[in-house]
Structure 1
Amino acid sequence: MSSFLFSASFNMLIPELPSYLTSLGGAEYKGLIIALFTLTAGISRPFSGKLTDTIGRVPVMAIGSLVCFFCGFLYPVLTTVAGFLLLRLFHGFSTGFKPTATAAYVADLIPVKRWGEAMGIHGLFFSTGMAIGPAIGSWITSHFSINVLFYCSSVFALLSIAILMNMKETLRDKQRFHPSHLKINRKDIIDTRALPAAIITFLSYISYGAILTVVSDWSLHLGVTNKGLFYMVFTIASLLIRFLAGKVSDRHGRIIVLKVSLSLLIMALLAIGFAKSAVGLLAASSLYGVSTGMLSPTVSAWTVDLGHPEQRGKAMATMYIALEAGIGLGALLAGWLFIHDLKMIPITLYICAGITSLALIYMQINFPKNKQTRQSY
């Protein structure tokens, strides 16, 4: 429930931010809306991973929600283009902290043979926030104002923190915070055991950064008046498959599920680019939701499989660094290719489909068979 509220808090802003930035006079910086957010999220991952493994899972989750809480109140204050972009940079710390600690927390609670199922259930709630947030955000903005939307985002984040206060810490050897915990060396940044999962995450999430940047304009062009509807359709589709995909990956292995999900993701990106109507776009978004609904819990469980039990925070941070880098690069790519020219949106999506194909090729070369990937210690 905490993840649901946290997810809704920052996702409800996404459909409205491109037009809001345009109203401030910064239309040419649309690609930075997501890119700056993911930049600080990625930079903070090594810190959040180390803190998750030292001071505890719950405090690190709380830090992420607190950032969302404060940002909601600052958006109406910083009303220049520079101020807005600076705030997006700060806002990224939220997803740099909370998901890393949450994934480690879930892995602590759940038996090893049910990690895929557990990640699917957690993803179910996080994705519900992704589905409800944008639709609510567009509705609030159209009926009230963008500032009311920002304040509502803060309220959701505050409720997320309230739930965390009643959660029991799962880290057994919890330490008091000390400034030395913020000292990061090379060994703290990347868990090399989790690199295969990180590579797949990076290549597959480039498309997500591009979609976040262009889908609002593409939806309006094809006749979808509620800019949050695309997010709702693809997230609802992902909800229906996440739980099942997680259980299948527990029983039959992560590799086969990843290969199928990557194949579906490629088809979905091509379908979104080929869409000629609102119905076609929403149908393609449902396929996109199925593919990401299969991919997300499986790659999270695979990361836990590959990492060391005492360094789950670092393993998850490695995967999330790749995720943020992929989203940020995708947003920059889309922002560079598309500013106002709608004809460039399909080309952007086709390029993303090609990049996702590289992930599938990597899996086929390095994991030709659905062999066991879970480490033993």
Structure 2
Amino acid sequence: MNQAKSKLWTKDFIIVSSANFFLYLVFYLLLVTMAVYAVEEFNVSESQAGLVTGIFIIGTLIGRLFIGRMITSVGNKKMLYFGLIFFILTSLLYFINGGITFLLITRLLHGIALGMASTATGTIIAEVIPEERKGEGIGFYSMSITLATAIGPFIGLYMSQQTSYQAIFIFCLALGIISFIISIFAKIPVMEKPAKSDKPNKLKLSDFIEPKALPIAIVVLIISLGYSSVLSFINFYAIEIDLVDVASLFFVVYAVAILVSRPFTGRLMDMKGANSVMYPAFVLFTAGLLLLSTAENSIVLLLAGVLIGFGFGNMQSTTQAIAVKVTPPQRIGLATSTYYIALDAGLGFGPYVLGFIIPLTGYRNLYIIMGVVVLVTTILYYFMHGKKESSVTTIDSMASKAN
């Protein structure tokens, strides 16, 4: 009986992780294609094209903000099904050519649907995983998103070169339907509803944001702004430097760099502290952006993808771990939510803000500017968390030597 309880790769674990993978596959597939689609179809500016990309993530942010509070009362099963059905219905809106405003509304609603569904899958997976294998299980579950970051942009860029946008929308609709169908076969645990209180439920900022996780969240906001310049504009940049065929591989090498390095960086953080990962990651992320700005051939472009994977890819997992580590156990859920709000805000608002800069700087100079911003953020990290981390690590080291 105990052996059965400790099993990780159960049918339910695989189904929920797969459903999450298909959702994020759509997310990243459209993330690299929608800006070009908006320019080609509606002849919009870079800033408007960036908004078409980023408003989806803003929708995801809205979905996570409010659904996180509702899921315990509504139930994770109902929330998952509602989110997936809403995801499918909003996918149908892409087939309606109603102008740029209608496309923006579609992207916002589609993002809200992903926020609902992904919040539900994240909650369900935490209940499906055995307690004694929580860390390992959540690590494997998060790989469903990491794989989507590689495969989604690869498929998106390939299909945008080889097929029509209508074919892309049909493919995304099919993925949403598959995600819903396989979810039906998962046995989803029923959540225990919280006890009703007689006191009026007044909303406070601390109901949505964890104050202790806020310092590292500010760092996440800025570095994700830097990464949004890659996610949203790499396709435009590749067209400009005539490397479109290779651009689809950029996110593949990015994800491979993450997959290869994360096991080592995770252990390094456990042994030496977060600074041992974060400071080198700042340097690598900066180097990747600066190298990207100089790309003239496929080797340089892909090498930039590797460096950005080593840098930003490991910053993502490390900053999330920091947010959880500095927070009391009873508020870890809010700490995780605070982290994702900052990440989504940077990735969501970034393309729109940077869209105003591109006409003035061009893509090469944009990546130079983003590289400098990331490097300067190292100083902000030091004061927000790194200084405190150094003190704790030193004390732990002295205690270890004393023992």
Query: Normalized against structure 1, the TM-score is what?
Result: 0.84
In the aligned structure 2, how far is the partner of 1:172 from the partner of 1:146?
40
Check whether the contact 1:100–1:320 (CA below 8 A) recurs between aligned residues.
no
Q: What code does the residue aligned with 1:11 have?
A: Y
In the aligned structure 1, how far is the partner of 2:137 from the partner of 2:278?
17
The alpha-carbon deviation at position 170 of structure 1 amounts to 6.1
Cα–Cα, structure 1 residues 219 and 27, in superposed 2: closer, same or farther, change >3 Å?
A: same
The alpha-carbon deviation at position 62 of structure 1 amounts to 4.6
Structure 1 gaps, min length 5 = 373-377
| Counterpart among 235, 249, 268 of residue 269 in structure 2 | 249
Check whether the contact 1:10–1:68 (CA below 8 A) recurs between aligned residues.
no
In the aligned structure 1, how far is the partner of 2:183 from the partner of 2:269?
29
Counterpart check, 1:284 vs 2:301? no
In the aligned structure 1, how far is the partner of 2:277 from the partner of 2:73?
33
Which moves more between the two structures, 56-65 or 44-53?
56-65
Describe how 1:136-151 pairs up with structure 2 within 5 A: 136-151=155-170
Calculate percent identity across the aligned residue pairs.
24
Match of 1:204 in 2: 223
Q: What code does the residue aligned with 1:23 have?
A: E
| Counterpart among 7, 13, 20 of residue 3 in structure 1 | 20
Alpha-carbon displacement from aligned partner over 1:325-368 (angstroms, at most 9, x marks no partner): 211332123211125x7x52122222222332343213323423
Q: How many residues align?
A: 367
Match of 1:13 in 2: 30
Higher helix share: 2
Cα–Cα, structure 1 residues 311 and 326, in superposed 2: closer, same or farther, change >3 Å?
A: same
Alpha-carbon displacement from aligned partner over 1:208-239 (angstroms, at most 9, x marks no partner): 22222221111122232234332222223222
In the aligned structure 2, how far is the partner of 1:331 from the partner of 1:127?
21
Describe how 1:204-283 pairs up with structure 2 within 5 A: 204-226=223-245, 227-283=247-303
Q: Please give the secondary structure, in 2, of the residue aligned with 1:88.
A: helix
The alpha-carbon deviation at position 306 of structure 1 amounts to 3.2
Match of 2:90 in 1: 71
Q: Which has the higher contact order (CA 8 A, sep 6+)?
A: 1
The alpha-carbon deviation at position 194 of structure 1 amounts to 1.8
In the aligned structure 1, how far is the partner of 2:55 from the partner of 2:376?
25
Cα–Cα, structure 1 residues 4 and 36, in superposed 2: closer, same or farther, change >3 Å?
A: same
Cα–Cα, structure 1 residues 265 and 112, in superposed 2: closer, same or farther, change >3 Å?
A: farther
In the aligned structure 2, how far is the partner of 1:63 from the partner of 1:147?
25
Which moves more between the two structures, 312-321 or 212-221?
312-321
In the aligned structure 2, how far is the partner of 1:251 from the partner of 1:112?
21
| Counterpart among 213, 222, 241 of residue 194 in structure 1 | 213
Q: What code does the residue aligned with 2:323 have?
A: T
Match of 1:375 in 2: none
Cα–Cα, structure 1 residues 182 and 62, in superposed 2: closer, same or farther, change >3 Å?
A: farther
The alpha-carbon deviation at position 122 of structure 1 amounts to 2.9
The alpha-carbon deviation at position 80 of structure 1 amounts to 1.4
Q: Which has the larger radius of gyration?
A: 2
In the aligned structure 2, how far is the partner of 1:248 from the partner of 1:202?
24
| Counterpart among 42, 50, 57 of residue 38 in structure 1 | 57
| Counterpart among 305, 320, 325 of residue 340 in structure 2 | 320
In the aligned structure 1, how far is the partner of 2:281 from the partner of 2:375?
11
Cα–Cα, structure 1 residues 95 and 320, in superposed 2: closer, same or farther, change >3 Å?
A: farther
Alpha-carbon displacement from aligned partner over 1:29-73 (angstroms, at most 9, x marks no partner): 112122312222223332122134544555545554444322322
Describe how 1:64-143 pairs up with structure 2 within 5 A: 64-105=83-124, 109=129, 115=135, 118-143=137-162
In the aligned structure 2, how far is the partner of 1:159 from the partner of 1:337?
39
Check whether the contact 1:238–1:292 (CA below 8 A) recurs between aligned residues.
no
Q: What code does the residue aligned with 2:157 have?
A: S
Match of 1:364 in 2: 382
In the aligned structure 1, how far is the partner of 2:367 from the partner of 2:320?
25
Check whether the contact 2:282–2:311 (CA below 8 A) recurs between aligned residues.
yes
Check whether the contact 2:91–2:110 (CA below 8 A) recurs between aligned residues.
no
In the aligned structure 2, how far is the partner of 1:8 from the partner of 1:24?
23
The alpha-carbon deviation at position 206 of structure 1 amounts to 0.4
